[in-house]
Structure 1
Amino acid sequence: MTNRRVVPDDTPLPARAEDLLRELAPQVLGALVRRFGDFDTAEDALQEAMLAAATQWPVDGLPDNPRGWLIQVAQRRMADAVRAEVARRRRETTAFDREVSDAAPVDYDDTLAMFFLCCHPALSSASAIALTLRAVGGLTTAEIAHAFLLPEATIAQRITRAKKKLATLERPFAQSATEHGAAIQDSAEWRARLATVLHVLYLIFTEGSTSTSGPLLQRADLSGEAIRLARAVHRALPGDTEVTGLLALMLLTDSRRAARTGERGELIPLAEQNRALWDRAQITEGVELTTGTLAQGLTGPYQIQAAIAVLHAQARSAEETDWTKILALYDLLEKLSDNPIVTLNRAVAVAMVHGPQAGLEVVAALDDQLAGNHRLNAVRGHLHEMAGDVEAAITAYTTAASRTPSAPENHYLTLRAAQLRHR
């Protein structure tokens, strides 16, 4: 998914220009939607401009201002479409007569603005994810549907509904720091919109890292796309500790991908993974990114989760994991978040530091909040197993297996229960 072409396969476009078009696509789309407010027409115009670039650039060479060139061509396509419609309705308009010179200066990058638009708080998470992958990621509707194991018509409806909803809003674009200066980052609206963007990217990544359903534990194409998009936000906001923390968290988590499943796709828990298979380059980058944020203190949930991932990554074996520091970080994270999954993860750290019974007491307090969630019983089974209560562990593992829609998780939990029965 992360290597998909943005122009037809038979177009003789050099790899460097192909990468440039992929980078510029959301910037151009953002400029068009911001200027004209018509998402669908802007997408069509962008595709025509990119096809024109794929045809002309190999012959004429790259223009001095590729972004301005694409915007100019796309705006002309939009102007032609609107003038044709105007002619049919016998009305006149001058709204689309504005053009951008090929040499016009580019004041700011619209990529971040497109993230803010696609992740508008008025949209549902499902719609925001689909629209982000379509408009910013450049994926086709079919590719998004395949990634989430959903019918293509379902994804198309989500994207259509999202566009219609945005069209009803008076100011769908949030002001961006790159456009109006860094001071805008202090505004409550801007921070809230950025938090929504990061949440959507996190949801995309977690679905790729641990699929909620289907035969595969991981979908590397989806998690890889989330990392690529997170890098785009980080390029726009390199000094934001939460943006940096999210990218670091993704890299550190993804570094374990090769060790998380066996030859037949079976789940391998963290404590049993072959750490020689972990991607050291991703770990190094993730550690450096996380370390670079510490001078500003541990203030955000993604930054803290990245710090926890660093401690796991730096442990040469499961036995050498510094659970005391991890528990301290979970204590801090729990104060910032009322997410019961954070508390569930903290329960494991509590058990590793203070014993399984202490962890089980934390888990017991989550029965109402996580009723029906398979993770609650999976952790409970693990802690009962640590405590030596085999029957309770079997019951918890069996219950968890019956509640997960993920085939690898179901197989792992069922096997764990079977192994305990035959001890």
Structure 2
Amino acid sequence: MNAQSGDVALGFIARGPLSRGSLTRGLLALCATAALIACGGGSGGGSIGSASAPVSAKFVDKTLQAAKLAATRGQPVSPGDDKGVQPEKPGAAKYGLAINLGTLGGAFSLAYAVNANGDVVGTAALASGEEHAFLWRNGTMTDLGTLGGAGSVAYGINAASDVVGYSFTALGEQHAFLWHGGVMQDLGHLGGGNSIARGINDAGQITGTSAIASGELRAFVWENGTMTDLGTLGGSVSFGRAISNSGQVVGGAVNNFDLEYAFSYQGGVMSSLGTPPGGTFSEAAAVNGAGKIAGIMDGPGGQLRAFVFSSGAYTDLSSAFNGDYSEASGISGDGLVVGTRITQDGLAIGYYWDATGSPTSLNNRIPGSRSNQSLALGVNGDGDIVGGAQFENHGSEIHAFLLKRVR
């Protein structure tokens, strides 16, 4: 339950794949550390707020550098390189081969979430190049349309296959939506004209981020027609990233020292998760039913690293990555974490971390991706993984995939 080429403005705009350049688009989708990162160009403008976030802006700069390298080099990974195919370890989670979900007639798609029924949501290009939210079910990708504007993105889905995300409106604003029963409902905003929904639980509670009247950004919960501002950690900005079935919301919020920390919100209280010793930044991206949280934090030298937070402590998942950037974007019911690594030579590689504690590359599960790119962006409770990858016979195009766990 739990975003393209173009210039990046150092503020916050709803992160969404609505501009061109497939690899840069995919990397920004993954790596923008605040829930909403500025992306210029593409199908519409529509800023969400104007608050600054120096740490997130710095990470976007690094991400763009990696994207440019990867887009121009696309170099293969040598056999035996720890950035490529890795053998399965005893007791590791097992997977078949990824399913290419295709597109809506264009040359791009990304999947962000999958429910227990195997229904997948994300965004895909039409033949015109415009990108729309989709629902993929039993081999068929359905265009969910828009709120009247030129593009939409689906980020979350629950057990009932209710879908959330954001769409441009006819006025060029970005509004959070709920798609239910074939109808896309505009969820409105907190007074600032723009909003984005990121997650929905089985009770229909929705979390995301909205601009308020001042232009600052706030995490919200939407329930039964009402959008509630969750506040901050003492600063001016917060982002809602995911919501569990118990109603626990996680994301990132700025404190009174202008530092962004991961938060957990439950029972009307927002609690800071802080950072590991010496850290200055963290943001939660996902939470499971047991309250385990996955996301991104900084480390020595400013490298941004995937983490799991449980029982009051952070675990760094990136120790095997030799200083490369990484982000955790999802966590299953049994604690399997998915995320993506950006190598120093510009390759994006999806990974999962299972009970063995070691990262396993997805590239040996995606036909043709060993020498190309992959992004792991979401996982359901059972451990089925979704994201985007370059598949054989599709050149440099990134297509959404579904990778089913073998039980």
Return the structure number with greater strand share: 2
Structure having the higher helix fraction is: 1
Using the size of structure 1 for normalisation, the TM-score is 0.22
Which structure is higher in RCO with an 8 Å CA cutoff and minimum separation 6? 2
Of structures 1 and 2, the larger Rg is shown by: 1
TM-score by length of 2: 0.23
